[in-house]
Amino acid sequence: MKRVVVLLSGRGSNLQALLAAERAERWATAIPARIVAAISSKPQVPGLAIAAAAGVATEVVESQAAASREAFDAALLAAIDRHAPDLVVLAGFNRVLTDGFVAHYAGRLVNIHPSLLPSFPGLASHRQALAAGVRVHGCTVHFVSATVDGGAIIGQAAVPVLASDTEESLAARVLELEHRLLPICVRSLLEGRVRLDGGRVVAEQEAFDQLAVLAV
Ligand code: GRF
């Protein structure tokens, strides 16, 4: 059985979606893996409670306590590698990782970001989308590279922006899509149907088709 480690810093709803997929009996939504640990950069966040309630090992590697970015990443890397993961998923992990850390996990480190990248990287992506006046918004799962929110795109899900949308209403609709998209991407990666090859994503045709989710 493949092993997944989830990194988070807060709410943990994407972890919850992965846990639901791990336990799903329907093949279409099931992921062929065990989530073996949830590691948080902050103590006492809801995501850790979600993991603990599901019987998943939890750990805190506190970013505040680290002397430098390098020291934090070294501690984080050691904590992750104790669980020998096949895949590491950043699900609301609010730290920028060093190049050495990213290189160590090349091809098995992915992030979910709440925008249709390459539009609106960084913080407040829903506010950015509303300010730009885009008519379609969404979320992206991508390999992590040295550039923030800049790695090769694995999958995307899109929703129309409504005239009545506020940052909150838009965020809520995109979050629902995140919970659909992330398990699909994780499953394709774990099955080896999607992989990183020389900085580009290579996917089997059938898997590739499933990596674009459109909601109306
Ligand atoms: C999500 O919107 C994710 O895309 C972003 O941070 C948020 C985390 O939410 N990177 P949650 O902790 O999974 O509920």
Query: pLDDT tens for residues 145-195?
Result: 989 999 999 999 999 999 999 999 999 999 999 999 999 999 999 999 999
DSSP 146-185: SSTT-SPEEEEEEEEPPTT--HHHHHHHHHHHHHHHHHHH
**Taking the model in full, what pTM does it have?**
0.96
Instruction: Answer yes or no: do 99 and 119 share one domain.
Output: no
Q: What is the best residue among 9, 13, 185 to mutate for testing ligand 1's pocket, by most ligand atoms within 8 Å of CB?
A: 13
pLDDT of 52 higher than 80: yes
Average confidence (pLDDT) over 124-128 = 98
- Cα of 76 from ligand 1 centre, angstroms: 19
Q: Which of 83, 104, 113, 137 is catalytic?
A: 113
Instruction: Answer yes or no: do 39 and 64 share one domain.
Output: yes
Instruction: Answer yes or no: do 47 and 28 share one domain.
Output: yes
Q: Who contacts 140 (Cβ-Cβ below 8 Å, separation ≥6)? A: 112, 113, 115, 116, 117, 149, 153, 154, 155, 156
Residue nearest to atom 10 of ligand 1 (CA): 92
| 114 Cα nearest atom in ligand 1 | 4
Report how far residue 161's alpha carbon sits from residue 94's, in angstroms, rounded to the nearest whole number.
26
Q: Do residues 38 and 70 touch, judged by C-beta distance below 8 A?
A: no
pLDDT of 29 higher than 70: no
The CATH number that applies at residue 141 is: 3.40.50.170
Instruction: Answer yes or no: do 101 and 142 share one domain.
Output: no
Of 105, 131, 156, the position where a domain reaches its end is: 105
Of 72, 105, 138, the position where a domain reaches its end is: 105
Instruction: Answer yes or no: do 101 and 122 share one domain.
Output: no
Report how far residue 200's alpha carbon sits from residue 197's, in angstroms, rounded to the nearest whole number.
5
Full residue range of the structural domain in which residue 198 is found: 114-216
Q: Do residues 127 and 114 touch, judged by C-beta distance below 8 A?
A: no
Instruction: Answer yes or no: do 34 and 124 share one domain.
Output: no
- pLDDT above 90 coverage of the chain, percent: 87
| 171 Cα nearest atom in ligand 1 | 2
Instruction: Answer yes or no: do 54 and 123 share one domain.
Output: no
Annotated catalytic, 126?
no
> pLDDT averaged over the chain?
95
Of 82, 105, 128, the position where a domain reaches its end is: 105
For residue 14, what are the CA distances in angstroms to 47, 89, 200? 9, 10, 25
> How many domains does the structure of the chain reveal?
2
Average confidence (pLDDT) over 38-53 = 97
Where would I find the H helices in the chain?
Answer: 13-23, 46-53, 69-81, 99-104, 125-132, 167-190, 205-210
Instruction: Answer yes or no: do 71 and 141 share one domain.
Output: no
Check if 112 has its Cβ closer than 6 Å to any atom of ligand 1. Answer: yes
Six-digit token string for 32: 């062929």
Six-digit token string for 23: 């336990």
